Structures are given as structure tokens and as C-alpha cells.
Chains A and B, each alone.
Chain A
Amino acid sequence: QQPVQSPQAVILREGEDAVINCSSSKALYSVHWYRQKHGEAPVFLMILLKGGEQKGHEKISASFNEKKQQSSLYLTASQLSYSGTYFCGTEPSSYKYIFGTGTRLKVLA
């Protein structure tokens, strides 16, 4: 089963913050986050490998709650360049890979 992401879509003004959640009905052993701009390929943002881990890149960070089988992506002081669709991904078995349902983010000037 695909991880479920929420919200499905969000519209922000530049400078506002957003949180995107990724929840799985199965155990999560690692969580990957990707961003896909319209008409382009997904681009890797970060991987979280264990529960409690938090990572950040510039003003985008993420957390991983292994017990709750959930990960959250935090976008702080959003910029126009943050617009796109965000996907979480996980490896339910050694080599299979499953992406979440996606969250469309639009940042307005």
C-alpha cells in the first residue's frame, strides 16, 4: 500500500511555512523525500534512515517517527522555487520501492 500524504495540495504566499505529512500502514524502515517540478523528473531532497532522525537542507527539513510510521517535511519561509509536487518514498522490502500519493505545493509571490 502506498504511503498516504497530507495535505493533497497547499497554496502558500512567499515567506509562509508548510508541513507535509507521509503516513504508512506498514513499518517504515527509511523515508526518502523528492520534489518534482511540473514536466520534470523527481529530484532527491533527503533520506531519513532511523526513527527520531531529523535532517535539513537550507530551509527544508524533515523528521521521521518510526513508531507512528510517519514522516513530516517542513518548509520554512517558502520561496517561489519550492513550488512543485513532493513525494515521500520508502523501501518496504530490500529492493522494492514505494512512493507516496504526492502533495502539490504552490508558492505565490
Chain B
Amino acid sequence: EAQVTQNPRYLITVTGKKLTVTCSQNMNHEYMSWYRQDPGLGLRQIYYSMNVEVTDKGDVPEGYKVSRKEKRNFPLILESPSPNQTSLYFCASSKQPGTPNQPQHFGDGTRLSIL
């Protein structure tokens, strides 16, 4: 089954303790992206990756890191989490943007609480 898998689904942690949210897709998609979703603000792009070893900032990259060492994986790293990073996070993948009719496929989300 074609899917995007995120782990963990839920995480409660404390300020300053490094954490990684993993994302993996099995559709051989070139493009992967991370979003955070906050009430009233919709989905905002954090980072995206056009292909292996190629990443760039979205609209809200501060406090986050990403890497793309393999095509299928795109982990989101919070080196020193703070309470304002408490949010619902989604990973998504698609074929290369610019190719007609390429929807994004979303993972089930990770609800992150930082105390």
C-alpha cells in the first residue's frame, strides 16, 4: 500500500531535549516536505526536499533541521525544542512539483507537546 509513515504519532517532551520525527515514503517520490499545523494558521511549510541531498527552507524553518540522505526518508530534527514548537506536524511526499497533476500524500501526523 502506498503510504507516508511518520513516527512517533504522539510525543510529550521537555524544553531542550533533542528529538527526531521520522518520515518514510514507499512511492519513490522525489519531493518531500514538512508542515506544522496550528489553530487558525492552517498548514505552514517548514522545510522541503527536491531530491536526495537537496533541501531548502519553507516559511517557518527556525528551530528545525532536516536531512535527506536516502530518497525514502526525510527526518525532522528539533535540536533544542521550545514550547512554541508544540504543534501538529505532517510529512508529505509527491512526484516532482511542476509535473502536472501531482498531489501531495500526507502522513498521519505527529502531535508534539513541549513542556
Contacts and interface: CB of A to CB of B under 8 A. Distances in A.
Contact of A49 (B31, B101, B104): B101
B41 A101 contact: yes
A96 B42 contact: no
Nearest to B111: A39
Interface residues of A, number: 22
Interface in A21-70: 32, 34, 40-44, 47, 49
Interface residues of B, number: 27
Contacts, number: 63
B83 interface: no
A48 to B, nearest CB: 10
Interface in A51-102: 87, 89, 91, 94-102
The winner among A2, A97, A100, A101 for most chain B CB atoms within 10 A is A97
Contacts of A43: 106
Interface stretch (B15-23, B44-52, B62-70, B72-80): B44-52
B108 A2 contact: no
Nearest to A97: B45
Contacts of A101: 40-42
Nearest to B48: A95
Nearest to B33: A97
A84 to B, nearest CB: 13
Q: Nearest 7 A-B pairs (CB), nearest first?
A: A44-B103, A41-B106, A99-B43, A102-B42, A101-B42, A99-B42, A42-B106
Interface of A: 2, 32, 34, 40-44, 47, 49, 87, 89, 91, 94-102
